[in-house]
Amino acid sequence: MMTKRLMNGLVLVFLGAILLMNTTGYLPWSVWDSAISYWPILLIGLGIQVAFSRWKVPGLALAVLVILVLAAMNPSRSGSRPYDRPWRFRMFPKTSVLRPLEGNKEFKAPLSPRVSRLKLDMRAPSVEIEIKGAPELNEKSEPEALVANLSWDRTEPQCEFSQNESADELKVALTSPVWSDDAGKQVWNVSLNPSLITAVNVAGGVADLTMDCSSVFLENLTVSTGVAKLDISLGLTGRETKVVLSSGVANVSVKVPETAGVRLSVSGPPLVTRLDFSKNGLVKEGGAWVTRDYSNASTRFDIRVSCGAGKISLDRTGR
């Protein structure tokens, strides 16, 4: 029993140390790309735990610890050239030469008169995304639903758009055609037309998302990644907005107007779910934290986070 507690404690300590080095710049977030690639070690750990169950060997905890150590020692496993692997595990920061982004292009999706909804699908193994509302897109002589400035260091992303049969919904897809170690990094800056009811879906291995949706008519946001950093500001829409994030490791910061209703539910290990949002004016109802006026609020945010480890913060801005 003591050995199990010791191993679990070491896993949490090492996980916290890596996240601390991520947020302070000593290690890149790409360290989690390597961690995901070592997933077969979990099977080895499970086998050890089953084989030596009589002696209560914490095989899974040991496997997770080994994965974290290997990922921290080798955070960027793709390529063998110096600029492909600019980081090494070290106690003190050292100046590194980061691989420059090789490509850049602009993508525009025109807005047809009948279109009232936008569905944006973004998929890449390692991506940094910034999204904001752009009212000027609706003021042009030829209005646009979306404008994206796309940068990459190895693989050029694919851009497609189409309309449904009734021609009232525009579907836009930004995707990386390669999902191996050679895919490289994507940096996408996306401006959205705030007149459209918008749904956004993000899927990938490692995603760093900064979303200023205070002027975006956001109806639905879904994020499914191995590691996610999400910083999102939401605005008054007069309807319900659903935000669903599923990630192995997540760092989530949400800003909402004080007058909006909020329902926040978190699922995961006890260390993650043991959160208290009472200081934000929320009360516990079942498995969720809810504002007292949630059902009567004209704007409601239903936020659901599922993660194995990470941090979740809520800020009711008063705007």
Per-residue pLDDT tens over the stretch 123-143: 999 999 999 999 999 999 999
Q: Give whichever of 65-69, 214-218, 285-289, 315-319 has the largest mean pLDDT.
A: 214-218
Torsion of CA 149, 152, 156, 160, to 10 degrees: -30
Torsion angles phi and psi, residue 303, rounded to 5: -110, 125
Average of pLDDT values for 302-318? 88
The contacts of residue 38 (CB under 8 Å, 6+ apart) are 66, 67, 70, 71
User: Which span out of 57-66, 100-109, 268-277 was modeled with the highest average pLDDT?
Assistant: 100-109
Candidate from 40-44, 104-108, 190-194 with smallest mean pLDDT: 40-44
Residues across the chain? 319
Q: Is 272 strand, coil or helix? A: helix
pLDDT of residue 148: 97
Asked if residue 119 lies in contact with residue 199, where contact means CB atoms within 8 angstroms, the answer is: yes
What percent of the chain is predicted at pLDDT more than 90?
49
**Residue 159 neighbours by CB under 8 Å, 6+ apart:** 107, 148, 150, 172, 173, 174
- Give the domain ranges of the chain: 2-76, 103-316
The Cα–Cα gap between 62 and 182 comes to 30
| HSE of 37, CA atoms in CB hemisphere, 13 A | 18
Distance, in Å, from the CA atom of 116 to the CA atom of 136, rounded to the nearest integer, reads: 17
310: left (phi over 0), alpha (psi -120 to 50) or beta: left
> Residue 284 pLDDT > 60, yes or no?
yes
Please enumerate in sequence order all residues whose Cβ is within 8 A of that of 65, keeping only pairs 6 or more positions apart, or say none: 7, 10, 11, 14
Phi, psi at 83, each rounded to 5°? -80, -10
DSSP state of 99: P
* Contact call for residues 115 and 170 (beta carbons, < 8 A): yes
Q: Using alpha carbons only, what angle is made at residue 314 by residues 312 and 319, rounded to the nearest 5 degrees?
A: 155
Q: What is the spatial distance between Cα 227 and Cα 27, in angstroms, rounded to a whole number?
A: 14
Q: For residue 4, what pLDDT is reported?
A: 63
Q: What is the pLDDT of residue 92?
A: 36
